[in-house]
Chains A and B, each alone.
Chain A
Amino acid sequence: MNIALNITTTITEFLSGFMSEGVANIGAMVVIALIYLAIFAVAGLYLVLLERKVAAWFQLRLGPNRVGPWGLLQTMADALKLVSKELTGTVKADKFLYNLAPYFVIVSSLMALAVFPFTKDFQAFDINIGIFFLIAISSIGVIGILLGGWASNNKFALIGAMRSGVQTISYELSVGLSLITMILLTGTLQLSEIIEVQKNGWLIVQGHIPAIIAFMIYMIAGTAETNRAPFDMVEAESELGAGFHTEYSGMKFAYFFLAEFINMFIIAATATTIFFGGWLSPFGITESIPWLGVFWFIGKTFILVFLMMWFRWTFPRLRVDQLLTLEWKYLLPLNLLNIVLMALIVWLGLTIQF
């Protein structure tokens, strides 16, 4: 491949051929943003199809298989349908907030995608506070949910939004703390550096016991962050209709829906980067071919996404007070102890290095 993988510099150089330097920079950012938007909008759609197929296989039936070979064009058809739907709204809803809410959710999801390293140098935005940026941006999504529930002027939506807000805020703590446990091993917040450190062995192997505990806590808390089962009290269809997005239809509903799947991808991608070596191949087998890193990254991420889907179709859901008890009484103290344990292991040099 003669196109260098450092896309930011490539595009900037290309554009500065016929624009001034400053404009070329901005132009490059716009182009990359558009490319990412296009790819991940489509990827979000295919994640929905994957979920439907996985659900079907668990439930002993075939998934969508009529529209396109193996149902591959199913979500395209669904997207077209959603775009052409009438945008309903309630009369007493607060118009401005009602329309604004979906944008918070989708924008925060797409922003977080910018920092992931898909392979060596293939990263849109390599900021030195990578992990911190990720966690901060994903916290903004809560605002969208709360606004959506409130502005709908609907009791069910409000209950759903309040539950979701409480749940997301609680579990963000666990997500952040379990990631910090791993930062103790890497010593840096920058995502590309974290992967460099993992050339000596994936962090989950380097950190052995506390890393495995941190991974399990991270997966539980990550599933709760995205409001997926078994933590989907928010949109518990058996109880409250559809929760906070009851009053949304058409494109705005599509934003909420898509954002949930992209969030799932982000959680899985973060776990891949921090725990499982990102784009590195196991034991460095394909290290000489850097562009294969993309496939390793996507493959590992999809295994974790499949794990999250598996949870959804197997377990019953937790009641909302049980959910909060789990976080505040069990996961948080466990997390704090784990950090101390990891700190001890790093200080005593007991990590496993290859």
Chain B
Amino acid sequence: MDTTIKNSNLKSEEYFINMGPQHPATHGVLRLLLTIDGEIIKKVEPDLGYIHRSIEKMCERDSYQQIVHLTDRMDYLSSHINNEAVCLTVEKALQLEIPERVKVIRTIIDELTRIASHCLWWGVMGMDVGALTTYFYGFRDREMINDIFEETCGARLTMNYNIPGGLMFDIHPNFVKRTKEFIAHFKTKLPEYDTLLTGNVIFQKRMKGVGVLTKEDAISFGASGPVGRGSGYSCDVRKYHTYSAYDKVTFNESLKTEGDSFARYQVRIQEMWESMSIIEQLIDNIPEGDVQVATNAVIKLPKGEFYQKVETARGELGVYINSTGTKNPYRVKFRSPGFSNLSLLNHIAVGGKIGDLVASMATLDLVIPDIDR
């Protein structure tokens, strides 16, 4: 967007603004150094590390069961999926045969987590753009999911329900009933939210054409999840590197090609519908069986390298474990989706205005502890 006046003697100087670590629009402690010329942004430089807790170093001294507890503090909005990633890596290394019941329950809770994360994202998205009421509507629905989790898993946010080998304990008898009630309730609410925010002219003008990301750039920057899919890059890990019970369900991958903020927004709304469809396909047919496979009390992985990808609400999370055969891993690396998504912020925000930066950042759906680990 070139708004300089041609043949003009007006010169303005650039100045620095700090969107500092404490700021209502950066979802977490992220410091952005903006170089601005008037209202146009010239450069965005993120400054990370405010919530760096050296999780990867801690994993080198912890046992494999203890590592699981560290992962849900990374991206706390998809905590169940993070736990599942590590458990799947360990199970792949030990070549355990996981019962069908475990796989189906893991998938259902995965999708509920995804809906909860997108609900919060939607609420905060509206708040960032100025529609302050959406925050409350998003959280109200998220509360229903949190109540379901509290009953079954024991916690609302950091669930730790997965262990290497299966689930910690069986689901609560009310789980199926409450999930069905939630789905029925949410199906009436999502069209309302569409009317409130998606159909609003002011909102569309704030989002269309803002923060455009082409498909080649998305692949080169390593964008995954809804950010990549909004630019036409088909990257759903649930389809290409299937895990748990995703091969039993049919669902569509939400793809849009425009690559602007509105496309990313629509992809996430569509994902919520798809998640509900997946849950509906599985919720009535949970197979009977065990919920755990016996493992040793002290788990030792064979020597080698193991990698597992999962699709969190933010994108592709990768867990790389390098083991030398002892009871602690030699090296653990978490490939976090937010880290790659943040690196493209400079690319899409330059040339736009400050308001555009806020809108683009909201559609990237960054959770800073996920980036900082």
Give A residues with C-beta under 8 Å from B. 55, 58-61, 155-156, 229-230, 232-233, 236-241, 312-322
Contacts and interface: CB of A to CB of B under 8 A. Distances in A.
Nearest to A61: B136
B130 interface: yes
B353 A238 contact: no
A76 B267 CA distance: 47
A60 B140 contact: yes
Nearest to A155: B17
Interface in B190-226: 196-197, 200, 202-203, 205-206
B353 A60 contact: no
A252 to B, nearest CB: 23
B322 to A, nearest CB: 42
Listed from nearest, the 5 A-B pairs whose CB atoms lie closest are A317-B130, A319-B355, A59-B136, A316-B129, A316-B130
24 contacts: A55-B132, A58-B133, A59-B137, A60-B137, A61-B136, A155-B15, A156-B17, A229-B132, A230-B130, A230-B202, A233-B355, A236-B130, A236-B355, A238-B24, A238-B127, A238-B128, A239-B358, A313-B133, A314-B196, A316-B131, A316-B200, A316-B202, A320-B39, A320-B353
Interface in B97-132: 126-132
A60 B136 contact: yes
A30 B4 CA distance: 54
A156 B16 CA distance: 11
Interface range, B side = 20 to 34
Given A232-B130, A321-B39, A315 B358 contact: no
A237 B24 CA distance: 7
A219 to B, nearest CB: 15
A318 B133 CA distance: 16
B25 to A, nearest CB: 4
Nearest to B3: A321
Contacts of B183: none
Contacts of B205: 318-319, 322
A22 B354 CA distance: 58
Given A238-B25, A238-B128, A315-B202, 20 more contacts: A55-B132, A59-B132, A59-B135, A60-B136, A60-B137, A60-B140, A61-B136, A238-B130, A313-B132, A315-B131, A316-B129, A316-B200, A316-B202, A316-B206, A317-B129, A317-B202, A318-B206, A319-B205, A319-B355, A320-B39
Contacts of A60: 136-137, 140
Given A59-B136, A61-B136, A239-B25, A320 B131 contact: no
Contacts of B353: 319-321
B354 A239 contact: yes
A224 B137 CA distance: 26
Nearest to B134: A316
Contact of A316 (B23, B137, B197): B197
B316 interface: no
Contacts of B131: 314-317
Most buried by A among B127, B129, B206, B358: B129
A70 B24 CA distance: 30
A319 B24 contact: no
A290 B25 CA distance: 52
A232 B200 CA distance: 17
B130 A229 contact: yes
A55 B133 CA distance: 8
Contact of B203 (A312, A316, A320): A316
Interface in B321-373: 353-356, 358
Contacts of B127: 238
Contacts of A58: 133
Contacts of A155: 15, 17
B15 A320 contact: no
Nearest to B128: A238
Most buried by A among B39, B132, B133, B353: B132
